[in-house]
Every structure is written in C-alpha cells, then in structure tokens.
Amino acid sequence: MTIRAVVQGVGHYLPARIVENAEFAAKMDTSDEWIKTRSGIERRHYAAEGENTSDLGAAAARAALAHAGLQADDLDAIILATSTADLTFPSAASMIQAKIGMSVGFAFDVQAVCAGFVFALSTAQGMILSGQARRVMVIGAETFSKLMDWEDRASCVLFGDGAGAVILAAEQGAGTSQDRGILATDLHSDGQFKDLLYVDGGVSTGQTGKLRMQGREVFRHAVEKLAETAHAALDKAGLTGEDVNWIVPHQANIRIIEGTAKRMQVPMDRVVVTVQDHGNTSAASIPLALSVGVARGQIKRGDLIVTEAIGGGLAWGAVVLRW
C-alpha cells in the first residue's frame, strides 16, 4: 500500500472580455492568418481593469470546491503557480485564501513561469506524501495581459489571462501504475537560458516590466525538452506513450503541441487542445485545459494523463497522473 495524491475536483475561470485576432489586425501589422498558422491561437481572454490574478484564482478555486462538494476549510493548503501575483508580496495564494474564506491551513506561491503548474503539482504531491497536508488546492492563475509590450507584435498576440484549480487529496493506493493519483513527476531548469524569455522589470528596477521572448529559440527548446521530460516521467511510472489516454500540454503553440505528441507517438485525438480559445495563459494553461477537458467529456475517471510544460528559466517538467 502507498499514499497517492488523488484528484478530487477541478474548476476554472476565464475573464469575460474575449479578444479575437481581428482586434490585433485592426491596430498593428499582423493578421488573423499569421497568428492562427504560426501559433494556433484564435482568441484569448483579458482580465478587466482592477481584476487581478487573485480574483481569477479565487473564482477557479470556488469552482473546484463546488465540483468536489467541499468547503474552503476542508483544505489544508493552497499552492498557487503564478508569475503575475497582484503585488510583489504577500503571495497571491494568501489573498486567494482570504477571498474564498479559508480560515485554516497555509498558502504560498510557486514561481516557475509557464511550467509553474507542473512544479506546483509536484510540490503538493511532496507535501501529501510526507504527511504535511492531506488535501491541497493547486491553482494556476495568471494575468499576462498586464506584462505585454503592445508594440511587440511577436509576443503580445500570444498570451491571455485565466485560472484553473485542481484539488488533490491523500488516498491509499496499491502502489501500482493502476492507482489513481500522481504516479510520477520529472522537473528541470537551466538558468543559462534566462535571456530567452523574461520580464525586464521587478524589484531591482522599480518597475513591473514587460515580457521579452526570443520565440524561435524557445520553440526549439520546447519541442525537444517536452517530449524528453514526458518520456522520463512515463518511465518513472513504468508506463509508455501507448498507455496514455490524454496528453494535457501547456498551451503555448499548436505546433509545439503537435510536435511533442508526434515525438511521443500519441495521435492528436488523444491531446486536449484549448490554445485556440485561451492563447498562452502561462501557469494557468494546464489546469484550464484539465477543467475544460473534463467539462467536454474528454477526461474521465481512471484515464492516464501526461501533462508537460516549459517556460522562462528555462524551467520545464512533466507529471503523470491517473484521473
């Protein structure tokens, strides 16, 4: 017998404002055609003025609690993956804790940019297996629209805002790859590549800053590293690509998603794709895709899921879990 961190509920929230590609084409030198063919993105959501990451995260958290039939005080911890916390400190996780009326436990942020949700899932699993917490809400929430340089057509068309949340709880498993819950994780970072994707502001500059990306270089690393980390995580779980029901990838670019699935020899009809509707929502993209995948009836209890992501750092990794 072994303890597993098993999913009990999932939920998401998208801000009301939807921005179609045509809106960009009307005000800068780009086109719906370019954005769609180079990235797969058709539209994205933007938070309203005064609507912040903790608001999006709290809405997703409430949806996940409702889905699981739980109250906020049934949680022991909140781990929020974000690079767009409302303020430098305190953590946006502690703001979410207050917003959902959770009066117990603890909350903190994890910062691994687009790979943040994978790192947060792994952190939550570690806390559950070590007995520090029995039930953990893992949230990915971002407002990347607040980091865009609206003069940089190569990046500003790609990102969107949103939030997703998953509740994990300790359950007994048999210790086999047939167990529900997280079966394996694989995490990496390499700070040598910090200049490929970063924000040129922060405490050292006195300004929030704007996102800067060498898209082509990040793309090259993404296809190679994502398939590698997904294979490594499957290996650790004693499974292969053939066992996978769903790849739920970070939603940055449809060409990266397709390239990774191809290398894993998993057909695209076993990949959850939301990039066309959400754009790249950084750490929120995987929990958003999980929640949408469940709502669409794609992901069902018992399905084997591989989730993988890469982003600024570079930081990348994968998690294998049975839903």
> Residues interacting with ligand UT7, by CB under 6 A?
30, 34-35, 38-39, 114, 153-154, 157, 215-216, 218-219, 222, 252-253, 256, 280, 310-311
DSSP secondary structure, 255-299, as one string: HHHHHHHHHTT--GGGB---HHHH-B-GGGHHHHHHHHHHHTT-S
Nearer to ligand UT7, 120 or 310 (CB): 310
**The two structure tokens encoding residue 222:** 């993404």
In angstroms, give the least distance from the CB of 148 to ligand UT7: 12
Active site includes 114?
A: yes
Instruction: Decide if 253 is catalytic.
Output: no
C-beta closer to ligand UT7: residue 102 or 314: 314
Integer Cα distance of 40 and 244 in angstroms: 24
Q: How far is the CB of 130 from ligand UT7 (least distance, A)?
A: 30
- Catalytic, 221? Answer no
User: Closest CB to ligand UT7 among 201 and 215?
Assistant: 215
Catalytically annotated residue among 114, 156, 253, 278: 114
Q: Which is nearer to ligand UT7, 31 or 245 (CB)?
A: 31
Provide long-range contacts, Cβ within 8 A and 24+ apart, for 291-300: 291/10, 291/11, 291/12, 291/60, 291/63, 291/64, 291/164, 291/165, 292/12, 293/246, 293/248, 294/10, 298/246, 298/272, 299/245, 299/246, 299/248, 299/272, 299/323
Tokens standing for 57?
A: 């995260």
Contacts of 89 (CB under 8 A, 6+ apart): none
Q: Is 71 exposed, middle or buried (0-12, 13-18, 19+ CB in 10 A)?
A: exposed
The distance of closest approach from Cβ of residue 313 to ligand UT7 in the complex, given in angstroms and rounded to an integer, is 10
> What is the rounded (10 degree) CA torsion for 64, 65, 68, 69?
-150
Q: Which of 12, 67, 231, 250 is catalytic?
A: 250
- Supply the minimum distance, in Å, between the C-beta of residue 256 and ligand UT7: 6
Least distance from ligand UT7 to the Cβ atom of residue 169, Å: 29
Q: By Cβ distance, which residue is nearest to ligand UT7?
A: 215
Residue 163 neighbours by CB under 8 Å, 6+ apart: 12, 13, 14, 53, 56, 57, 59, 60, 139, 140, 141, 142, 284, 287, 288
C-beta separation of 180 from 121 below 8 A: no
User: Nearest distance from residue 214's CB to ligand UT7, in Å?
Assistant: 8
Residues annotated catalytic, as ranges:
114, 250, 280
